[in-house]
Structure 1
Amino acid sequence: MNGPALRPARLRPADVLRTGASGLRARRTRVVLSALGIALGIATMVAVVGLSTSSRADLLDRLDRLGTNLLTAEAGKNELGQDVQLPKSAVAMVERIGPVQHATATGAVNARVRRSDVVPEELASGVTVQAARPDLLDALGARTSQGSWLDPASERLPTVVLGSVAADRLGITAPGAKILLNDRWYVVTGILAPIDLVPTLDRTALVGFPSAERYLGFDGHPTTVFERSTDASVEAVQQVLARTVNPGNEGSVKVSRPSDALAAKAATDKGLTALMLGLGAVALLVGGVGVANTMVISVLERRAEIGLRRALGATKGAIRLQFLTESLLLSALGGTAGAALGAVATLAFARAQGWTAVVPPWSLAGGLGATLVIGVAAGLYPAVRASRLHPTVALNAS
């Protein structure tokens, strides 16, 4: 009489995990080194995505604060290559454009800037001089970091406000100091905070139009006109601004939107992020090779264990599952550590830069998912190789 057919025992999920983990615990140093390769790859990818996202979010936040409705019109050159002068009434003409909410201007002043009279005149300070109107900061959304800005009274006096970079180059740390513009002493009444939309003004010494005309030989013609209009009308104003600023010679006027430079920077950051993600993927691939190498060596070293388990009735599927589980656990260990390390690095760097830290959840999930794929790919061959070992051959080889 035939008895019931024997069926191989199936390992429960808990048994599979325990068996796979026991193989890792027996080789802790090798496991740590192999997991480190995976961790570095995942940490790089998570940190790159997190820092790029945080930087872009900060940039877009600044764009929202500064607005994208600022346009500039700069004097250029005519067909003969000669500098063109904008009319003194340019600001008044721009203000007549219906949607324009605010218009102001600056004018280039031909003046040398020196810290003191002992500095040789031929030694350049790298600071230019611009005449400015009292309403310039309101139009640009800028502010002073120290001291005060020009007002209707001080714009007529020998007073000057320095851009942030100009103050550093001249060694001025606080208002009240004096500097020489040509041969005239000017008192520094304020220092500007960095101006994101018009960074050229950071390297400028700004004086009032009346003061520049009285003391520095300025002719009173603006060289750059700034205007703000409603958001919906920016495109329309941009089309008519050049011929409004300089009627009959609009071809010599360059009209631009300063916020476009910040938007372009955000787009550039995306391209750099893609490059860095590629480098992170290479690091992850190297880590996967390390895991595969670890698993192959583990199979060679544990042939006696494999032979004994096969002799006691373990199926080929059980052996494959054991080594595949080991590979997955090893990769998951590195992936989890790498995701945590990347998130911590993002938080630390973003805080140091004054950004709001953003770690997209998809980057963490994607990183962990990539480690599982790497774990399967790296452990598949060693697992199949282990399952194909014949019990007798494996025991004799030991």
Structure 2
Amino acid sequence: MTFKPQLRVPATYMRGGTSKGVFFNLSSLPEAAQVPGEARDRLLLRVIGSPDPYAKQTDGMGGATSSTSKTVILSKSEKADHDVDYLFGQVAIDKPFIDWSGNCGNLTAAVGAFAISNGLVDASRIPENGIAVVRIWQANIEKTIIAHVPMANGEVQESGDFELDGVTFPAAEVVVEFIDPADGDADMFPSGNLVDQLEVPEIGTFDVTMINAGIPTLFFRAEDLGYTGVELQEAINGDDAALARFEQIRAYGAVKMGLIEHIDEAKVRQHTPKIAFVCGAKAYTASSGKAISQQDIDLSVRALSMGKLHHAMMGTAAVAIATAAAIPGTLVNLAAGGGERNSVTFGHPSGTLKVGAEAEQVSGRWLAKKAVMSRSARVVMEGHVRVPQEQI
């Protein structure tokens, strides 16, 4: 049998926040992959190295975690008053599946830098020195995001002294604003309630705050689920029974949020909704060995992504945390001490993160105006990714 040479596809491997992914300019993809569909998914699955029954993604660019099994496609925006269109794909590790249902808030921090460096932002909008304001259209969720990208001598500044828990080395700070982060076509709280009860057969009935801001998220009290709220990854990710329980709860929550009609559909919607649990401020030791004191934080939050406890916090879930914390009466707000607030510092397995949000109640309905957080980003490698043609 004669085998064809591998495809060479221009690509950039980037870290954004506490995630990594393979970034593509839409025009650089093979023609069949420039439109949504099976050809695109096959290509990106092979790039990342999925599906992998060994769950290692050894033969691809993926890092075998939900934070490192990601792809991004960018193009010059066709949307008025926007610079770049941003499409995100969460790649399953052990299944031939890419979830296009949500955003990655962490990789959003790298979108502006890639767009500037690849000529997707009009040169007149890029200062020689200072801050470039990149207007991003998030195509998965149809929302506007503003990235404030530092510039030095006409180039994106990646190095700096901004430290982000969950990332080993300091870098330049990128401020990201998520404008109107809630679902514009539905209530931010799908049921209209700040707290609901979720009944999960054979597991229990739990209080839950269901919010669609940043990403659809289910928030529970840690104690209701049998946890302290300051667990690290090994306490949950090594417990198959616990992970199966979380997934069952998430599936029933997805139905209650109206995201799916039957729990079986959750198997092909792994990226959303997220499931998280909260508790009040407690001292703990982060995964890096850093001591987090009760005075350092307002509350602690643990969240699962793609079936595993996240090593830090997903950026989109941080938007949900900020927004829920700003609304008196949600489980997140109550865990933080209740009352009105426009920012919150929460503990996660890798350390702490401060996020801000503005929310208002109009005619009895809560609206999110924006959420803000600081991240960092940098290019790890750029060039071409190679893909065996026979396998796509």
Question: What's the TM-score, normalizing by structure 2?
Answer: 0.20
Higher relative contact order (CA 8 A, sep 6+): 1
More helix, by proportion: 1
| Larger Rg over CA atoms | 1
More strand, by proportion: 2
